[in-house]
Amino acid sequence: MAIFGVTNFWEHLGQGLDADAAGEKEAEQAFNIASAAAQIPTLEHYLFSTLPKARELSKGQRPVPHMDHKAGVDDRIRKEFPDLAAKTTFVWLGWYAANMAFFPLVRPFELPLSGGNWVWMQPSPADACLPICGDVKVNLGTYVRAALDYPEKSLGKYVNVRTDRMTFTEILKVWSSATGKHAQYIPVSVEAFESLWGPYGREMALQYFSGERWPDWDELKPSKMCSRADLLIADEDLVSLKGAFGLLGTKLSSV
């Protein structure tokens, strides 16, 4: 028997909670799932969707509530439920390709009276990198299936669901190729993005900062990582950013 535990910070943020309160609510729910899983004697494998701890990585300079609170649950599982921790795979998911189709903060937009030119405005330098998980609907399932198939490799470890590591400029080039739209990347400040998008904008900007500093999550916990090679996952088993954009088609540039 296996359980996959996942929670949604953005739902709580959308209900009017501030970022820390939303993170605490999400962490409470995540811990409740783990607590229930720990009581199931027939459980063989627990998979928990989590994220790296930004506060620790930045030495307290740039906490990211939705990353830090979720990562704190990892620590509680290991401390309070060591038996569950021994049969847990901690799953990190990079940036979703679908964000550029369905997440308003991340979508490029057409510039009026420009002759069909588009703009992608994000709170990060153009040359900053993002860890990207490609098509999450396909790739998450591929990693989870492999983790279940090779428990001797994945139990007690972290897996990083990532297909690409690209700069914002490179991402936009792939988007332009997929859509046929000419686009320009425009970096903006954290403050400007927050003024436009409120707490959602600030949280996204803080998350990008963590990606700027640590785009290769595999290096964060090298002794605790279970690699793609360990799980015998080949490139052709996954859908990259380019492949995901191809599947999304006109959704990337529809108004």
What pLDDT score was predicted for residue 252?
94
Tokens encoding 60: 């307290």
What pLDDT score was predicted for residue 14?
87
Percent of the chain topping pLDDT 70: 98
What pLDDT score was predicted for residue 68?
92
What pLDDT score was predicted for residue 92?
96
- Domain residues for 28? 2-252
What pLDDT score was predicted for residue 70?
94
Q: Which CATH number do you get for residue 97? A: 3.40.50.720
What pLDDT score was predicted for residue 8?
92
What is the 3-class SS of 195-220, one letter each residue? HHHHHHHHHHHHHHHHHHHCCCHHHC
Lookup result for tokens 């229930």: 36
Tokens encoding 181: 């739209």
Q: Is the confidence at residue 210, as pLDDT, over 80?
A: no
pLDDT digits (tens, 9 = 90+) for 8-54: 998 998 898 999 999 999 999 999 999 999 999 999 999 999 999 88
225-230 contacts at long range (C-beta below 8 A, 24 or more positions apart): 225/157, 225/158, 225/159, 225/160, 226/89, 226/147, 226/153, 226/154, 226/157, 226/158, 226/159, 230/150, 230/153, 230/154
Q: Using CA atoms, how far apart are residues 136 and 225, in angstroms rounded to an integer?
A: 20
Count how many domains the chain has.
1
What pLDDT score was predicted for residue 207?
87
Nearest to 57 by CA among 48, 70, 49, 67: 67
pLDDT digits (tens, 9 = 90+) for 222-247: 789 999 999 999 999 999 999 999 99
Nearest to 69 by CA among 56, 79, 81, 78: 56
Q: Using CA atoms, how far apart are residues 162 and 74, in angstroms rounded to an integer?
A: 20
Contacts of 191 (CB under 8 A, 6+ apart): none
| CB-neighbour burial class of residue 178 (10 A; exposed 0-12, middle 13-18, buried 19+) | buried
Is the CB of residue 126 less than 8 Å from the CB of residue 204? no
pLDDT digits (tens, 9 = 90+) for 150-187: 999 999 999 999 999 999 999 999 999 999 999 999 99
